[in-house]
Amino acid sequence: MKAIIAEKPSVAREIAQILDANNRRDGYFEGNGYCVTWALGHLVSLGMPEDYGIRGFDKASLPIFPDPFILTPRRTKAANSKNYKPDPSALKQLKIIKNVFSQCASIIVATDAGREGELIFRYIYDHLQCSKPFERLWISSLTEKAIQEGFKNLKPGLDFDGLYDAAKARSEADWLVGINATQALSIAANEDVYSLGRVQTPTLALICKRFQDNKDFKQRKYWQIQLQHRKDYLNFASLSNQQWEDKKQAEQILKAIEREGRATVEDVSINNVKEQSPLLFDLTELQKEANRKLGLSADEVLQTAQSLYEKKFITYPRTGSKYIPEDLWSEIPERIRILSQTDPFKRAISTLKFGNFNKRIVNDLKVTDHHGLLPTTKIPSALSASEKAIYEMIVYRLLESLSEHCSKEVSHITIKVHHYEFIIRGSKILSKGWRAIKGLLSDEAYPNQDNTSKNNSDHTQTQQPQLIELPEFKKGDELKISSAELQEKLTNPPKLYTEADLLSAMENAGRHIDDKEQQKALANIGIGTPATRASIIETLITRNYITRKSKTLIPTDKGQKVYDLIKDQKIANVQMTAEWEMTLHQIETKEIDSKQFITDIKNYTNEITQELLSLNIPQENIPEIKCPKCQKYNPIIKDKIVKCPDEQCQWILFRTICGVQLSNDHITSLIKTGKTPLIKNMKAKSGKKFDAFLVLSDKCETIFEFP
């Protein structure tokens, strides 16, 4: 008898059906020589400080370095308590898994084929002190064919020791940094718990710094002159190369140009440009694109893609690669043939050249644990709106990647009036290539992959080539000026991060390092992994460090306060976190040993713990106020609630109301005068925004008063 352990019940059910193990038992399936059971995500995790006899936040206990780490079953918060207790469902399933393992001679690991999936199994295996031999099912989709192929090609469990070592090192490093830094800052602040982490804190620093730069930006006016021309029955415009900060000077130049009435062609540059077809989506690129086009959060995209994967419509979504291996190329025509039979894709597929697909996506060396995202041969039905949108994005990206390059003729014409230069830019498509798939021909439809600002240093606007037909030019031609106008413009502040922008910044963290040698080494190393970046953003939101405002991510007062405390400390260092990600990759490939990494992490943890404990944090000056209900005690003001310390009084006020967190000024005004200042942009359950005052009723409950 062989045991099989999947990550979720739904996957276990699929495997059991294919293997004809259809006898349902409590917590597993049985039959045909197999017992198929499942985990429920992370059933086992690293123990908390109390498991090592350390209760509460104690300065003398820091830093905490468990040796060895203890593994404990998953815990949940007890009702009406701050304490955690073992999760009954986790304990039950662990008992079932232990029973299944004991009945079987060997184990087949069928958890998700990636770092976290490996960790889920190994922690269970170690916690149960199991010593049975195990093999690995390594697949990139859950179709029947993929699972059958996977079982024919099971891999030795030892082949994935490097993957486990990296996962374990990441888990322990996050514990060491997160637990010690959180306790150290909370002790130094002498108030609410401030959660810090190895990846979440540098990510918070990125958001806060961009927000601060945006807020501090001093906008300035400048002027440019635009000229209108007509030649060979075609109308077009030119824009001054120069920008003027003095309006009067610009107006004088405008008058001189109008008097001249003619411009002379100084330089003609016409280039044929080949725009390569885009590569397949990896998870991060899919999240960025869906955030820009659909407004979905990174986590919503991941959950939607995971659902499509479990329904067998797409391949494994938590991939960091945009390529496929050579041996998969032969399957692509069949997938396209099946897709061509469905209405949404018929027209797009008709533009492809069968038998002559572009092989740009094939690269064995650039395929990581999993290849780029692909649709499977199973055509979906009954999808939700978000599933349909994500599925179509993945299919269209495949079709684009198989298409030929797009050819453009890009024109850059320099003309002069007196000694002032003007630029005419134009772009003409010669061959649509991959852009014919969706018929989107403008660059706006395909924003730059790295959506960080590429404007010049003072964030002035630049003229982009337009998809317009231009007449022929040659040096020395004279162009009549039909009209001239002065355009008033404003310099732009650094853009606040959208989720797409933040994912780019996390993915490309290594690019922003000053040291050129280090920048080269870390060029393609980000912070976090494709599989974890969404959860990092959600963690920052859950901990009330950042919030979503329209399409942007901005820090809350609490997030800004944490950033102000740690911005000059090592824990906010994006570069160091990027270097660790590179080290974890080297552990996975067995280039280096994980023990040295953990030693380095302990040294780093010791440094940041001392740094944070030594911070001199001034306490907030909150006015003296009494509980509005009992009028006896000063209320306790915490991050999420304001409450009377008297248990008999039991007055409590939740600080977040309709999506807005009440500031200390709001709370003081409410308690002292019975009414807050006007609070704007609160959000009703329907999603509609509204403005209102909060008022204390006779029973000391909060009610809305509308202006």
Written as one letter, the residue type at 535 is S
Angle at 53 between CA 48 and CA 54, to 5 degrees: 70
What contacts 378, CB < 8 A, 6 or more positions away? 143, 312, 313
Q: Spell out the long-range contacts of 490-493 with Cβ–Cβ below 8 A and sequence spacing 24 or more.
A: 490/219, 490/220, 490/221, 490/222, 491/217, 491/219, 491/220, 491/222, 491/458, 491/459, 491/460, 492/219, 492/455, 492/459, 492/460, 492/461, 493/213, 493/214, 493/217, 493/219, 493/459
Q: Is the peptide bond before 645 cis (omega within 30 degrees of 0)?
A: no
Task: Assess whether 52 carries a catalytic annotation.
Answer: no
Cα–Cα distance, 276 to 362 (Å, whole number): 14
Please state whether beta strands 552-555 and 28-31 pair in parallel, antiparallel, or not at all (unpaired): unpaired
E strands in 65-164: 71-73, 75-77, 84-86, 106-110, 134-136, 155-156
Distances in whole angstroms, Cα of residue 599 to Cα of each of 176, 337, 596, 612, 645: 11, 54, 5, 20, 44
Distances in whole angstroms, Cα of residue 697 to Cα of each of 298, 674, 694: 41, 8, 10
Alpha-carbon 488 to chain mean position:
37
Cα–Cα distance, 653 to 596 (Å, whole number): 49
Cα maximum dimension of the chain: 96
Alpha-carbon 169 to chain mean position:
22
Catalytic option among 194, 316, 497, 545: 316
Q: 612 and 599 in contact (C-beta within 8 Å)? A: no
Cα–Cα distance, 516 to 494 (Å, whole number): 24
Cα–Cα distance, 48 to 46 (Å, whole number): 7
Q: Is the peptide bond before 133 cis (omega within 30 degrees of 0)?
A: no
Cα–Cα distance, 322 to 332 (Å, whole number): 15
Cα–Cα distance, 254 to 486 (Å, whole number): 7
Burial of 463 (0-12, 13-18, 19+ CB in 10 A): middle
Q: 321 and 371 in contact (C-beta within 8 Å)? A: yes
- The set of catalytic residues is 316
